[in-house]
Amino acid sequence: MPSFQMHPGFAGQNIRSNPWKPTQMIISASQHFGIVGSGKVYIVETAPGFQAGTPVSLLGCWGTSDGVFDACFSEMDQNIVVTGCGDGVKVYNVGMSANRDCVMPLIHNAEHQAEVSCVAWNTGRRDTFYSSSWDTTIKMYSAAKPEVSILTMQEHFKEVYEVATTSHSPSSILSCSGDGTWKLWDTRSPQRSVLTQMAHQNQIILSVDFCKRDPNIFASGGVDRTMRVWDARRPNQPLASFPGHDQACRRVRFSTQNSSMIASSGYDMRVCIWDLTKPQQPLVARYQHHREFVVGLEWSQAAPNAIVSTSYDGTAFFWSLGQNPTPSPPAQQLPPAMPPPRVPRPRTRVLPGLPSPGMPMPMSPPRSPRSPR
């Protein structure tokens, strides 16, 4: 199965599909695991089914002055990309940015007071998008004028790791945080969340995702090493809890084509595939093809049961369920993608309860020190 290798010294942070071209993906990456340094954005393309022998084509990449923790395509304009960086939300034009040195963004919104952990386009109302940050806030922007946010939601009291939207409900947004809660919001009344739930034994929640068919169903992943499925109509207890990871569950994603399939990945360097129609044995596949934390995960929109992962090891793998992810030989020389000049900005504190610089991971084999994002 094909794979993609990033520039040396850069760690993959997240990976998302291009809604305009299902065979394309956008990868966000940061230097030195995102602790310090610059970032890069990669746009890659593969064959629809990730067939063996078909290389991953690099369509374009560019450097950023600070680390990139997330990136997504606009749902309004296929030439626009929004990134969540260590120094704010940035908007780029792909044609003006790809494979050029010292690219400056079209817009740099620096309202957040800490790293921007997530950017997500509103799939239900395509003229808006969201960002979440370690400053505990969630912000909403108009696609027409993203220089200034139009809404701020602040109820979490620790870092907000991820937000998710659903095409079935334009005003709904889901968030998760280091405070141990997920929250469901209605942007028509953003002063308070609609629902709040302590969800993973009071431990940090790192990821959330809506079911693509039912807006009441969503999944979460946390430091307690579980992936959990919820129904917003009965939020007090999860519908299911799956303990398939040996370390924190960093990312959860519902399949785009099969509402009963969920993928999860984590700090144990694994990707797990779950089938909700098999409650007695829901774990249907587990992969360990990365050498570092698997922090980015996405189902392909181009083919059923095709999935993509990216990791702190600087690689992205593309494969279909039932196949063994294997690295492909290097395909092409990467362009330099030099970042623009950077104004130094200190990173936010290291998360409590997770490895900090100078502390080895409590697992075997020994891990290199880093600050997990």
DSSP one-letter string for 328-354: PPP-SPPP--PPPP----PPPPPPTTS
Structure-model confidence comparison of residues 78 and 49, the more confident one: 78
Q: Output the six-digit token pair for 189.
A: 């009344």
Residues 6+ apart with CB under 8 A from 298: 15, 16, 17, 25, 253, 307, 308, 309
Q: From 315, 350, 319, select the one nearest 330 (Cα to Cα).
A: 315
- The dihedral sign for the CA sequence 306, 127, 153, 148: positive
Distance CA 363, CA 351 (A): 18
Q: What is the mean pLDDT of the chain?
A: 90
Of 10-14, 33-37, 151-155, 162-166, least confident by mean pLDDT is 33-37
Asked if residue 194 lies in contact with residue 186, where contact means CB atoms within 8 angstroms, the answer is yes
User: What helix, strand, coil percent values describe the chain, rounded to 5?
Assistant: 0, 45, 55
Residue 255 has pLDDT above 90, yes or no: yes
Lowest mean pLDDT among 113-122, 219-228, 331-340: 331-340
Measured between alpha carbons, how far is residue 16 from residues 1, 28, 280, 295, 312 in Å?
19, 9, 31, 12, 16
What confidence score (pLDDT) does residue 174 get? 98
**Lowest pLDDT segment from 128-137, 146-155, 310-319, 354-363:** 354-363
Lowest mean pLDDT: which of 13-27, 195-209, 269-283, 343-357?
Answer: 343-357
Residues above pLDDT 90, as percent of the chain: 79
| Residue 354 confidence (pLDDT) | 53
pLDDT digits (tens, 9 = 90+) for 330-373: 656 788 888 888 766 666 655 444 544 334 443 333 333 334 45
Whether the pLDDT of residue 110 is over 90: the answer is yes
**In the prediction, which pLDDT does 332 show?**
63
From the CB of residue 371, how many other CB atoms can be counted at a distance below 10 Å? 19
Tokens read off for 26 = 């956008």
Burial grade of 234 (CB within 10 A; 0-12, 13-18, 19 or more): exposed
**pLDDT tens across 291-333, in order?**
999 999 999 988 889 999 999 999 999 999 988 888 877 656 7
Amino acid at 154: Q
Q: Cis omega before residue 365 (within 30°)?
A: yes
Distance of CA 362 to the CA centre of its chain: 24
Nearby residues of 360 by Cβ (< 8 Å), 6 or more positions away: 366, 367, 369
At residue 98 the predicted structure's pLDDT band, cuts being 50, 70 and 90, is: very high
Residue 34 has pLDDT above 50, yes or no: yes
- CA 186 vs. chain centroid, Å, equals 22
Backbone angles phi, psi at 14, to 5 degrees: -160, 165
pLDDT at 179 over 80: yes
The whole-number pLDDT of residue 366 equals: 34
Which residues are within 8 A (CB) of 253 and not within 5 positions of it... i.e. 6 or more apart?
209, 219, 262, 263, 264, 297, 298, 299
- Whose tokens are 């785009």? That residue is 256
Q: Distance between CA atoms of 100 and 95, rounded to whole angstroms?
A: 10
**Which is more confident, 347 or 95?**
95
Residues in a beta bridge with 11: 30
CA atoms of 83 and 88, how far apart (whole Å): 8
Confidence of residue 1 (pLDDT cuts 50, 70, 90): confident
Report the distance separating Cα 282 and Cα 300, nearest Å.
21
Min mean pLDDT across 167-181, 280-294, 332-346 is at 332-346
| Joined tokens for residue 349 | 């504190």
Q: Please state, in angstroms and rounded to a whole number, the distance separating the CA atoms of residues 113 and 5.
A: 32
Q: Give, in words, the CATH class of 3-320.
A: mainly beta
> Quick one: pLDDT at residue 334?
85
**pTM, two decimal places:** 0.91
Q: Which tokens in the block code for residue 46? A: 């593969």
**Mean pLDDT of the region 213-237:** 96
